[in-house]
Amino acid sequence: MIDPWGSSIIDYEKLTEQFGIKAFKDVLEDIPDASKLMTRGIIFGQRDYKRIADSLKNNKEFATMTGMMPSGRMHIGHKMVVDQLKWYQKKGSDIYLSIADMEAYAARGISKEESRELALTEYIENYIALGLDVTKDNFHLYLQSENEEVKNLAYLIGKKVTFSQMRSIYGFDNSTNVAHIYTPLLQVADILHPQLEKYGGPKPVIVPVGPDQDPHIRLTRDLAAKFNDEYGFIEPSATFHRFMTGLTGEKMSSSKPKTAIYLTDSIKDATKKVKSAKTGGRDSLKEQKELGGQPDQCSIYELLVYHLVEDDEKLENVRQKCLSGEILCGNCKQCAVELLTDMFEDLDSKREEAHEIAKDLL
């Protein structure tokens, strides 16, 4: 069982074996002009991606679906989803973005108004500043509680799921509130509704998620197949990306400020966090010069790979110099600070306009 409400999953290989997630590298060569997240193995797994690769290659219609349950502040790890949405948007995909206010209420007691406010001011504002074009006709943003199609579909598909199934997938027990038990069906409906007639009928849909969301994907695919006769649903495809390690070495989390760089951190605070981050450096300078560093266990290197260095050659250069002990963590952190400063200055310069756009979106 994977718990979408709290586990931290690290063993990606075991995960792919256990749950039947396929390796992303198997489809990589079929993707025209694959993104950095794909080529760098950050997106490591997939279900049924061939369908999406085919749509990409042959300019066929498909949709990209994601959702967010607004809680806490947006951190740099969340940027990965935005990067993926931007990439699919550039490729001509419709983008569907659900604000899971009903789930936030059922699972965390957050009111609809709080969800709306947090989604717009903290998340969507940053999404826009990061370059997602929310003004396009093919961008669909909605609150779950205000989307009648999603709510109706959730109810209808609920007919073919039993409580016993829900319990074995999500680990619900006798103390779980009933609204919470219902929320996975809303997520299933979120993912399936772009295929309803109103939205142009059946089409491939890609859902980029972290591996903790796989239970939703499996349930959705199962229900899509069960309702294929009625709606013609195509089983949605999914990709799975690695989580960023937090700056302290544990999982990056909104609720643990020391693990994460928030997108609205001041440059001063972000710098401080980078400077005190856990690296793959050795205990002493002498040892590091002799043995080299360990980039694969380094949160700074991860920052460079995920977000800060576009150029593959430059990245490989850092890696080799780290491995050979030619660069030390102090220099490396300084370099990360400079790149991060550029990114934050750019975001700051766009945030005011982003705020104006975001505030009227829902």
Residues that bind ligand SF4 (CB under 6 A): 279-281, 293-295, 298, 300-301, 322, 327-329, 332-333
- Residue 225 or 291: the one with the smaller Cβ distance to ligand SF4 is 291
Is 242:12 a contact under the CB 8 Å cutoff?
Answer: yes
Q: CA-to-CA distance for 197 and 209, rounded, in angstroms?
A: 25
Q: Which residues contact 336 (CB under 8 A, 6 or more apart)?
A: 274, 300, 303, 304, 308
Minimum distance of ligand SF4 from residue 259's CB (angstroms): 17
Question: Can you name the residues that pair with 96 across neighbouring β-strands?
Answer: 65, 140
The alpha carbon of residue 124 and the mean position of all alpha carbons in its chain are separated, in whole angstroms, by 14
Minimum distance of ligand SF4 from residue 252's CB (angstroms): 16
Minimum distance of ligand SF4 from residue 320's CB (angstroms): 10
Please give the radius of gyration of the chain, using alpha carbons only, rounded to the nearest integer.
Answer: 21
- Residue 36 or 203: the one with the smaller Cβ distance to ligand SF4 is 36
Q: Which residues contact 181 (CB under 8 A, 6 or more apart)?
A: 163, 166, 172
| Phi/psi at 221 (5° precision) | -65, -40
Q: Which residues contact 27 (CB under 8 A, 6 or more apart)?
A: 46, 49, 50, 53
Q: Where do we find the tokens 């069982």?
A: 1
Q: Calculate the alpha carbon distances from 288 to 246, 277, 278, 314, 335 in Å.
A: 22, 17, 15, 21, 18
Q: Calculate the alpha carbon distances from 73 to 61, 78, 260, 263 in Å.
A: 34, 10, 10, 8
Containing H/E element for 285? helix 285-291
Ranges assigned E (strand) in the chain: 22-23, 43-47, 63-68, 94-99, 139-143, 205-209, 237-241
Q: Calculate the alpha carbon distances from 360 to 105, 135, 141, 320, 357 in Å.
A: 22, 11, 11, 48, 6
Minimum distance of ligand SF4 from residue 77's CB (angstroms): 18
Angle between helices 163-170 and 214-226 (to 10 degrees): 150
Question: Can you name the residues that pair with 150 across neighbouring β-strands?
Answer: none
- Residue 184 or 246: the one with the smaller Cβ distance to ligand SF4 is 246
- Residue 301 or 344: the one with the smaller Cβ distance to ligand SF4 is 301
- Residue 23 or 335: the one with the smaller Cβ distance to ligand SF4 is 335
- Residue 194 or 293: the one with the smaller Cβ distance to ligand SF4 is 293
Minimum distance of ligand SF4 from residue 212's CB (angstroms): 26
Minimum distance of ligand SF4 from residue 330's CB (angstroms): 8
Minimum distance of ligand SF4 from residue 274's CB (angstroms): 10
- Residue 97 or 277: the one with the smaller Cβ distance to ligand SF4 is 277
- Residue 289 or 355: the one with the smaller Cβ distance to ligand SF4 is 289
Minimum distance of ligand SF4 from residue 281's CB (angstroms): 4
Minimum distance of ligand SF4 from residue 250's CB (angstroms): 17
Q: CA-to-CA distance for 345 and 265, rounded, in angstroms?
A: 11
- Residue 71 or 297: the one with the smaller Cβ distance to ligand SF4 is 297
Minimum distance of ligand SF4 from residue 181's CB (angstroms): 44
- Residue 45 or 295: the one with the smaller Cβ distance to ligand SF4 is 295
